[in-house]
A = this chain, B = another copy of it.
Amino acid sequence: MRFLSTTPTDGITERDFVHDGVPGVLWTPGHPAPLVLGAHGGGQHKRAPRTLAQAARCVAAGLAVVTLDSPGHGDRPRSPQDDRFITEIRARTAAGQDATTLLDEYCAVLAAQAVPEWRSALDDLLDLPDIDSDTGTRFWGMSMGAAIGIPLAAAEPRVRAAVFGLVGASPNLVPAAAQVTVPLRFLLQWDDQLVARDAGLALFDAFGSRQKTLHANPGGHGEVPESELDSAVRFLAG
């Protein structure tokens, strides 16, 4: 892990880094803190406004946050496969067709690459003196971020709590969800134009966790209420 820059502001340290070619950002409060892995949504990047806002909420609550550019996103190059998926998803959406299956397939392709990247970054991050590695790592991710986080939490025992959301049951995600057993919160938007209500509920049902809570609110995919985002931070910090 190679740190590129360090910017301390109001007691918060922001560090850009590259790990095995993957660019990321780490925010830490002024003391050793539990680490939140924050994964951005599809078409977004490590400093997308919603990712930054949720990271700021977490750091204000005394947590450290790390985010990575997902494969084909942010400062990372797009592969010919990325281009094919994106072109086809855009074409179907523009034609008013359902692109859900194709989006699920693309997310599964990205997750297969991203999960080992997150695990490898975690190896290095937990050695940093300002990360409290004893209290367990937590995961935050909505939409594509959840489609990466669910197989990550299924594979990675150091993830001990998670907030997922805005994603539905797909043939790839259901078996991974069944292997997730950590306490989790699952957020759905009741009028999500990208995630069918039944698919979201079916994924909540599929999680193996004994301690899992569904929070559903009215509104579309990008309209998770502020109060819900605040509440999720309390859950991650708890």
Q: A201-B201, A205-B190 are in contact. Are A213 and B216 (CB under 8 A)?
A: yes
Q: How many copies does the complex hold?
A: 2
Interface string of A62-103 (1 = CB under 8 A from B): 000000000000000000000000000000000000000000
**Interface SS, A side:** mixed
A217 interfacial contact with B, CB 8 Å: yes
CB distance from A61 to the nearest CB of B (A): 15
Name the B residues within 8 Å of A204 (CB-CB). Answer: 190, 216
Structural contact, B218 and A215, CB atoms closer than 8 A: no
- Complex: A218 Cα to B212 Cα, angstroms: 7
A160 to B236, CA, bound (A): 30
The minimal Cβ–Cβ distance linking A42 to chain B, given in whole angstroms, is 25
**A-B CB contact pairs (8 Å), 6 listed:** A212-B218, A213-B215, A213-B216, A214-B215, A214-B217, A215-B215
For the complex of A and B, the 9 pairs showing the least CB-CB separation, nearest first, are: A214-B216, A213-B217, A215-B215, A213-B215, A212-B218, A210-B218, A214-B214, A213-B216, A214-B215
